[in-house]
Structure 1
């Protein structure tokens, strides 16, 4: 089971943005690679702290995490190894301040603030996947055709002549305070330390080809509309020896013809006739696992709610399955024949047809209160 992000940073859910940042900085400095050279356990804790901060420092991500937990980012690479060191230092390097000589990276480690070549990552791709309520309830594997850029075969690279493969260019300036040395990513190679040597004629300027690939996406049961999943490495390729970007998958829920979703619960409006309400009936209704038949007891009242346990949507957090709430509505005919009118006129004076609610026949407001409690 994945470790709770709040536990990783040692804070509670009510922590402010400043407290979250302070807690992350403390953990990051404690497990920083410069302080723990060669310690894989410290490196893993360093990554986990960064992953926790990436979510909790973003109000939208934090809200989704508070509601759905780790499942909100299923396949999203959070909570264990999803971020590499390049991601961490490029996004959060400023948080370390001057704790490590003013730089966010490893001392002498190629790829970070210490002045070495950085790893280039390809751009991310975004798609939207529409799911039926049945697919959401049961989980589904979708095979989607994705247009992505891949490195063309035959493309070769050589050391960048501007930075000599370092990925950064160092400049020394004379100022009134003395000689100042600054470093910046090489503008020629973008910090990769390599430039294209040869490429096929049909490749673009970066040695890439536009391709179409079928990607398999496993979608867990219980996802919600607007949730975003991530398939690592299925975005655009990066030049040279870089790493591919990610495929971001936005979930869109299709409307169901007869079922309405409310969290993990489902609602179904069942309409019955006067005679069915008085005599009882057996009715077939829709569920996300197929049709089921339910029994309507004689004398059922309009507004009665029948609860079918575990016939709703599985919780994305693994907290069980919601229910299906069947709302019974007695249909009143809008036109009557002469014989029907005579029957109801005759029955209007009958005591059996006069309203006589019992204690178990709750009012509308009581039913609404029960639904939200």
Structure 2
């Protein structure tokens, strides 16, 4: 089997790493793997790679988005070039991760997929594909996506439009563009997103849930004294938060509020902050920039007494899985698919915005037996979220589609 995946990043960020690891699993099974990726956000890869676009095209596409709310309508010439490359490679199966990301023209790409009649797996990592604008809508409690978007309350959220609201036209055009691919199966990483898809204009496609996976060889309980010493954590009770980009929607404000409720025995440590954000942290909070050093990140997860994820919008965050794999219990807001990663033995779920509830949950976990949590968290990661198992689910799906054996779950 010759597999070609399309990803907004190459082996960086959660989505890029998922595509890379699926490719590696395909090659392990004797298949051939290609990954097409945006020029912005690229790491190394073991697959054969195709670069899509350049910085000028990226920023031109971003301009169309910011001014005219035309995300997914730019990058025409580079999408046509990608299609010529796909035709040259002639893959047996095409796997698509985010179409959005300022690098593809959705109309051109999906017109090709309809004409090519190849097996296609489209993984939805958020809600953008079935809304008129936004990637998530629960933050503003909007359900217009069920019948037809208009007057978008999240116009300035990613992918932000500063001026024009084109959500009504975008919704109608996406419904036409994304439907009609004969041999397409949708994948979502969470049951939460699958339920939303089943209520959307994409409900006619076969749908499968494949959870995100984690590298349990890298993310594992490790000796923590070096990390605590390096960052001056000492013997404080360490509350860890990790995000690719910190914002109010990812819970940064929740940590600031939480810091005011904690006693001096606690320390909040955040990974993924910008320099300006670090400079504005309260005294009982510390932070570092995003790190691609996964060994150090595993050390931070292992050093933490508890991992807290107070996100206001999310699908199936891999940070929860990384924490579990390192033996660290997870506390999360009841957001999207985030609670699906844990059970009663591995963490706690708190209502959105309940910072007092976060504090109580932290105290409950910190005052419990750490070793019991460590064992249960690690076992849950190994049983359900090993990347090898979840990536194999994708390869199984590709092989079944190629054999013509897929159907709705």
Which of the five TM-score ranges fits, normalised by the shorter chain? under 0.3
Which structure shows the higher strand fraction?
A: 1
TM-score (norm 2): 0.21
Q: Write 1 or 2 for the structure with the bigger share of helix.
A: 2
Q: TM (normalized to structure 1)?
A: 0.22
Larger Rg: 1
